[in-house]
Amino acid sequence: MNILTEDIRAKKANKITWIGFFANLILTSVKLIAGIIGNSTAMIADAIHSLSDFTTDIIVLISFKIVRKPPDKDHNYGHGKFETLATTIIGITLFVVGLGILYSSGENIYSAILLKTNLESPRIIALVTALLSMITKEILFRITLKEGEEINSPAVIANAWHHRSDAFSSIGTFIGIGGAILLGDNWRVLDPIAATIVSIFIMKTAYSISIGSIKELLEESLDDSTNKNILKIIENINQVRSPHELKTRKVGNKIIIDIHINVKNNLSIVEAHEINNEIERKIKKIYGDNTIINIHTEPENE
């Protein structure tokens, strides 16, 4: 992928991330105030979740500032791994937030059920704020996911799912607060129960976000289906014999392929070179112009 295209990707990623950043700034402030005034532990937990979005937004902005740089002597394959690292950090941050909410809500449930502590009833302001958050975060999820898929950015897509997890969080909060308000004193425990359910959803989302990027950082090869398809493309090219030693991996939004092929002994260097060019053209047609392909050509008798 050329520098101009990476620059465009970075600009698009930055634009959608800044939109999310300012939306999170407003939402976090409103949620925190509503949670305190409205006596809702679920809403305060939801506010903390939104606060974590600031961290991930900043991580995405910083990572794309690095990703847009061209390859250099220290990073011959470009800076795509910084985007992968950003995705991993987003996932881990989200998991820690979920764990914190789980612990806090668990304490409140323990106090209400086993210690018979009277929990304060949430107020309407917390319920209205939860509804506002649901709508806002779902809109942010949709526009961020669309942009992330358009520019093929794992970090932006991960950030989109962070928005979606916040929307789920607000749905759970809305149900818990609504139940606690409408069903009376004996049901106030629904508020921290809602926060507990939300925390589980958050941690599940965090796992989904981070597992792929962690595998990429550990240089795991592409999935079997992709590897088989790459071999099939190469095998179907005229005069290629026995493609072998296939190695694949990802660097950001690009894939890297290493392959050995055999050709007839009597081919000239020019003819063998043209075969390699054809391999590159056909693979890039399917996997993108930024795909990096290293081909080791050997005589047939080897």
Q: What is the DSSP string of 215-246?
A: HHHTTPPPPHHHHHHHHHHHHTSTT-EEEEEE
State which of 217, 237, 265 marks the end of a domain: 217
Q: Rounded CA gap, 159 and 28, in Å? A: 16
Instruction: For residues 34 and 191, give the distance between their C-alpha atoms in angstroms, rounded to a whole number.
Output: 14
Same domain membership, residue 109 and residue 14: yes
CATH number at residue 184: 1.20.1510.10
- Are 233 and 197 contained in the same domain? no
- The count of domains in the chain is 2
Please report the pLDDT score of residue 161 as a whole number.
Answer: 85
Q: Residue 272's CB: how many other CB atoms inside 10 A?
A: 18
Mutual angle of helices 190-217 and 154-182, in 10-degree steps: 170
Last residue of a domain, one of 164, 194, 217: 217
Q: If you write DSSP's letter for every residue of 19-63 in order, what string do you get?
A: HHHHHHHHHHHHHHHHHHHTT-HHHHHHHHHHHHHHHHHHHHHHH
Question: Distance between CA 298 and CA 112 in Å, rounded?
Answer: 73
- Is 274 in the same domain as 192? no
Distance CA 208, CA 152 (A): 17
Report the alpha-carbon distance of residue 84 to residue 144 in Å, rounded. Answer: 17
Task: Identify whether residues 166 and 18 lie together within a single domain.
Answer: yes
Phi and psi at residue 46, to the nearest 5°: -65, -40
Say if residue 68 is in the same domain as residue 102.
Answer: yes
pLDDT at 119: 63
Domain encompassing residue 35: 3-217
256 and 140 co-located in one domain:
no
Indicate whether 43 and 174 sit together in one domain: yes
pLDDT at position 154: 79
Backbone angles phi, psi at 194, to 5 degrees: -60, -40
Domain boundary among 217, 234, 250: 217
> CB burial class (10 A; 0-12, 13-18, 19+) of residue 234?
buried
Residues 6+ apart with CB under 8 A from 240: 234, 261, 262, 263, 275, 279
pLDDT at res. 117: 67
* Eight-state DSSP code of residue 301: T
Tell whether 177 and 278 lie within a shared domain.
no
Question: Residue 241: what are its φ and ψ, rounded to 5°?
Answer: -120, 135
In angstroms, rounded to a whole number, what is the distance separating the alpha carbons of residues 107 and 153?
A: 38
Torsion angle of C-alpha atoms 38, 44, 49, 51, degrees rounded to 10: 90
| 92 CB-contact burial (10 Å; exposed 0-12 / middle 13-18 / buried 19+) | middle
Rounded Cα gap, residues 160 and 56, in angstroms: 10
In this structure, the answer to whether residues 204 and 278 fall within a common structural domain is: no
Q: Can you tell me the distance from the alpha carbon of 60 to that of 10, in angstroms, rounded to the nearest whole number?
A: 10
Same-domain status, 70 and 130: yes
- CATH code (residue 232): 3.30.70.1350
| Whether residue 140 is found in the same domain as residue 168 | yes
> Each residue's pLDDT tens digit in the chain (302 positions)?
444 466 787 788 888 889 988 888 888 889 889 888 887 877 877 787 777 677 677 777 777 777 777 777 777 676 777 778 887 887 888 888 888 878 877 887 887 777 666 666 678 898 899 899 889 989 999 999 999 888 888 778 888 887 887 787 788 778 878 887 887 667 777 777 877 887 887 788 788 878 888 887 888 888 899 999 999 999 988 888 888 999 998 877 778 899 999 988 888 889 889 999 999 999 998 888 878 899 999 887 65
User: Are residues 263 and 133 part of one domain?
Assistant: no
How far is C-alpha 302 from the geometric centre of its chain's CA atoms? 44
